[in-house]
Structures are given as C-alpha cells and as structure tokens.
Amino acid sequence: MKIGIIGIGNIGGTLARKLASAGHEVRVANSKGAEDVRPFAEEIGAAATDTHGAVSGADLVIMSIPLPAIEKLPKDLFKDVPASIPVVDTSNYYPGLRDPQIADLDAGEVESIWVSRQLGRPVIKAFNNILAHSLSELDQPEGSAGRLAVAVAGDDTDAKQLVMGIVDDVGFDPVDGGPLEESWRQQPSTPGYCCDYDAVTMRKALNAAVKGEAPRKRDQLMSKMGALGPNPTHDDVVAMNRSLNPLT
C-alpha cells in the first residue's frame, strides 16, 4: 500500500518506520520540505517528499502533526485526493500545556470534527490514544495474549476497516471507536486514553467515558506530571493515566 505520512515526530516517525518495515511504500514529509526529512527517510527505507508529494497518489494518508499546525497546511492539499482515500488524524489537544487555546474546541467541539473542518474532508481518528513508547516497543503479533489495543473512530466503514488493518500491521488490536462524533471517547484524559489496555478493556474504557469530564481531568495533568518527578518511567505515566479514570 502507498502510505503518505505528514509529520515524523514520536508517533508519525514510529508509524513510518513500522509500516515501511511491514512492506508498505511509505513517503514522509513535514513542514520544512523533502530535504529536512531525507536522512530519516533513507534510514527507514522510505521516500522523502513535501506535503503535496505525501498525499499525491497515496492509498492512505496519516496526519501526525501538532493540532494547531493543521490550520497552517496548504488549503489545496487534498484538492486532487479522491474522497475514498482515508486520512488518519493522530492529533490531540493540550491547551495550556502545549497548544494555544482554540475557541471551538474549548466550547466542546470534538477534536477530529474540528480537524475534518480544517482539512475540508472526513478523517479517521486513530493512534492518538497510545503512548509513543507503547507504539514503538510494545507491539505484539496478532493473537498474542494481552496484546495492546488502539481505538479507531470514523464514519466511512471501508476507510475505517483499512485503518484498522494498519493498526494490526504495526502490532496492535484495533477497536472500533464508533463514528467520528464519538471520537471524544478517545481524547486526552478519557478512560481509554494512553492506558495500555487490551481490546476487551479498551472497549470497556470507551463505553465508560462521560462527555464533558475529560477537559477537567486533562487540566489536572500538569500537577500530576509534576508529582511524578523529572524522569517518570513509562509505567509511572500509564499508572497516572489509569488513576484519572479507574475502571471497576
């Protein structure tokens, strides 16, 4: 499959590496142009390109850039990309911690609905509710006991199934998160967010989410992270995330 990935940070870069290793034809890009991503691309066996090159002719596009940067993408980026091509949104909103305030999101708009409006096309929400370390190091073969899960939300059944196949390709169990309007259930500080759950527990966590609660809990993260000290372990971060929404 031809996969374009815009953004090669912790999540995008890990996905690029894993998907190239799985035999997909991967093209990577960022806002600085092809030369900036070329060393990484050559390292993992991908092609370096710019943002237009990443989406042109792709069978799947993964957007893995900070949420505010989505507004700065070329307005015609997807003009010639067929509507049938899935576009994956991996972003999360962290106002006050990393991102500037976005009024529509502060008013309660679902993050990926907002992203869809900025891009002018539907998106599939995936790979946003898994920690970078988990994505990089905790993959397992299909059928493994305790295999970690990733939620996938979207409105197009075929596009969602394609993305769920990619989740499996990189070593995780895909869990259907429902339509895009329900993707708030996998946003930061919800029960299913970055807790290293298997598929059964992930479904339980998504169902346990209560609309409107996550922003309040998300705003507690700074103090909770501070309490972990300067060098928290991966297990420390997972335990903190789980403590925000204990599952009974």
pTM of the complete model: 0.95
Q: Which of 221, 150, 155, 214 is nearest to 185 (CA)?
A: 214
- 3-state SS class at 237: helix
- Domains parsed from the chain with CATH numbers: 66-182 (3.40.50.720)
Q: What is the pLDDT along the chain (248 residues), one digit of tens a residue?
A: 999 999 999 999 999 999 999 999 999 999 899 999 999 999 999 999 999 999 999 999 999 999 989 989 998 999 999 999 999 999 999 887 778 899 999 999 999 999 999 999 999 999 999 999 999 999 999 999 999 999 999 999 999 999 999 999 999 999 999 999 999 999 999 999 999 999 999 999 999 999 999 888 877 777 777 788 788 999 999 999 999 999 97
Dihedral of alpha carbons 154, 79, 34, 1, sign: positive
CA 26 to chain centre: 17
Other Cβ atoms within 10 Å of 128 Cβ, number: 25
Other Cβ atoms within 10 Å of 63 Cβ, number: 25
